[in-house]
Structure 1
Amino acid sequence: MGSFIFKRSLQSLFSLIVLIILVFFLARMTGSPADLYLPQDASAEIRHEFNERLGFNDPLYLQFGRFMAGLMHLDMGQSLQFSRPALDVVLQAFPTTLMLAAVTMPLVITLAVVIGSLAAFKPGGLFDRLASFVSLLGASTPNFWVAIVGVLVFAVTLRLLPTSGTGTVLHWVLPVAVLTLRPTGVLVQVVRTSMMTALSSTYIKTARAKGVGSRSIVFVHALRNGLLPVITVASDQAAGIVNGAVIVETVFGFPGIGKLMIDSVMLRDFAVIQAAVLVTALAVFIINILVDITYALVDPRIRYN
């Protein structure tokens, strides 16, 4: 296991380096920050002084070398919009996104396992057809559209929920509901298919012949063997929740890393963009490692040597 984690860490390190290079150069293709942070009538001398002070007049390879040197000391530069270290700004916003994902993912897994298992118990039945229709609808509906409709219906028309912020539990209802819909739809289909395969196996037929109850058959005997494909897709959906938070946080004014990233792109705050992408990529890497470890715990036959 230790050797496997080390190899995966090296692979992820290579991916992070490529990602850092792409983000660094793509961010600078958006234009000069001087166009946003200086008055429109600012003279050429003032613009030159602004760019010189921040190092934007240097060739790109020198700027990149300076960034990589700072990265070795966890220094990702200063935020232009906050006048603070970019990493501090990102780490202050990231817990909100992490909490949003931590609330959403257990809800997604619980709903998917229960609905998918019950649908697989009687394939072709009324509950199975209804669950399949709703899950496919949820999996194919874009997050931004659901978020906008949710605000229009529940916040503007019915006035039941707030439109933005994180002050109370009610502020979390719409963002969590929107983030839950799509991954739940995907996982319900995976759980249903996996459980149908498990329920048709020989050991399940033997358990039924011995008089084991339906609840034990579904949620004890069949569920464990049907979990492996679910864990794989659940890891992708967990990473998708972190990425989907960019849209949801922007729509609902949620002060997480997603909204911070969008605002930084709009304001050409290169240091914050780079720090936000790096922290998010590290979070996704950690999620994938935890999923691999979970594989070994669920199925002892799996060995990573």
Structure 2
Amino acid sequence: MYGFLAKRTVASSVSLVLLVVAVFFLSRLTGDPTNLFLPIDASAEMRDNFRRIHGLDQPLLVQFGHYVWNLLHLDFGDSIRRARPALEVVVEAFRWTLMLGFLTMAIVTTAAITVGSLAAFHVGGIFDRIATFCSLIGASAPDFWVAIVAIVIFSVGLGWLPTSGTGTVWHWILPVAVLFIRPFGLILQVVRGSMISALSAAYVKTARAKGVAPRATIFVHALRNAMLPVITVIGDQAAALLNGAVVIETIFGFPGVGKLMIDAILQRDFSVVLASIMVTAFAIFLMNILIDIAYAVLDPRIRY
């Protein structure tokens, strides 16, 4: 198992290195920060001083070398706009994204596994047809469109829920509900298909013949062997949720790392942009490692 995890770690580390290179040079294409932070009539001397203070007066490759050296010492630089360490700004915002993502995925996973397992047990029945129909709609619905429609109906039209903020429980309902729909539909489909195969296995038929209760048949005997593809999809959707939070947080004014990243790009706050992407990428890297460990726990063959 350790060799398997070591290979996955090396592969993920290479991806992180390539991401650092790509993001650093692409972020510089957004323009000169002096046009945003200095007045239009600023003199050439003021602009040169600004660039020198923030290390923007050096050649691009030299800037990249300094950035990599600082990154190896966990120094992401300072935010130009906030005059604070960029990593500190990102961590403050990332905790909101983590709370939103963890809450959403906990609800999604519980609901999708329960509904998908019951749909597989009653395959072809009314419950199965309704669950399949709902999962197809959920998997096909674009997040940004659902978010806008939800605001128009529940906030503007009915006035039931706020459109932005995190002050009360009511502020969380729309972001969580919108982020819930798509992963729920995708995970439910995989759970249903995997459970149909597991429930048709000989050992499950033997358990039924012995009079094992349906609940134990589904959630004890069949579910564990059906979980490998489900865990893969859960991990993919959790990563997609972190990426999709950029759009949802911007629409709902949620103070997470997604909205921070968009604001930093518009403000040409390069240190915050890079720190946001690196922290998000590292979180996805850790999540993939945890998924690999879950594989090894569920399937002993992976350990060898």
Q: TM-score range by the shorter chain?
A: over 0.9
Q: Distance in 2 between matches of 1:289 and 1:73?
A: 23
Q: Which residue of 2 aligns with 1:173?
A: 173
When structure 1 is superposed on structure 2, of 204-213 and 169-178 the one drifting more is 204-213
TM-score, length of structure 2 as denominator length: 0.97
- The aligned amino acid for 1:206 is T
Q: Which residue of 2 aligns with 1:17?
A: 17
Residue 40 of structure 1: how far off its partner (Å):
1.9
Residue 295 of structure 1: how far off its partner (Å):
1.3
When structure 1 is superposed on structure 2, of 145-154 and 203-212 the one drifting more is 203-212
- The aligned amino acid for 1:281 is A
Q: Which residue of 2 aligns with 1:204?
A: 204
- The aligned amino acid for 1:156 is V
Residue 218 of structure 1: how far off its partner (Å):
1.5
Q: Which stretches of structure 1, 4 residues or longer, exceed 3 Å deviation after superposition?
A: none
Q: Which residue of 2 aligns with 1:85?
A: 85
- The aligned amino acid for 1:58 is Q
Q: Which residue of 1 aligns with 2:264?
A: 264
Q: Which residue of 2 aligns with 1:276?
A: 276
Q: Which residue of 2 aligns with 1:149?
A: 149
Residues 193-242 of structure 1: CA deviation (Å, up to 9, x unaligned):
00111111111221222222222211221111111110111110111111
Residue 39 of structure 1: how far off its partner (Å):
1.4
Q: Quick check: 1:26 aligned with 2:26?
A: yes
Q: Distance in 2 between matches of 1:109 and 1:223?
A: 13
SS in 1 for 2:300: coil
- The aligned amino acid for 2:211 is G
Q: Distance in 2 between matches of 1:279 and 1:269?
A: 16
- The aligned amino acid for 1:11 is A
- The aligned amino acid for 2:178 is V
Alignment of 1:162-241 (within 5 A): 162-241=162-241
Q: Distance in 2 between matches of 1:45 and 1:81?
A: 20
When structure 1 is superposed on structure 2, of 43-52 and 115-124 the one drifting more is 43-52
Q: Which residue of 1 aligns with 2:135?
A: 135
Q: Quick check: 1:8 aligned with 2:8?
A: yes
Q: Distance in 1 between matches of 2:261 and 2:226?
A: 37
Q: Distance in 1 between matches of 2:134 and 2:226?
A: 22
Runs (5+) with no aligned partner, structure 1: none
Q: Which residue of 2 aligns with 1:56?
A: 56
When structure 1 is superposed on structure 2, of 209-218 and 276-285 the one drifting more is 209-218
Q: Distance in 1 between matches of 2:302 and 2:22?
A: 36
Runs (5+) with no aligned partner, structure 2: none
Q: Distance in 2 between matches of 1:2 and 1:124?
A: 43
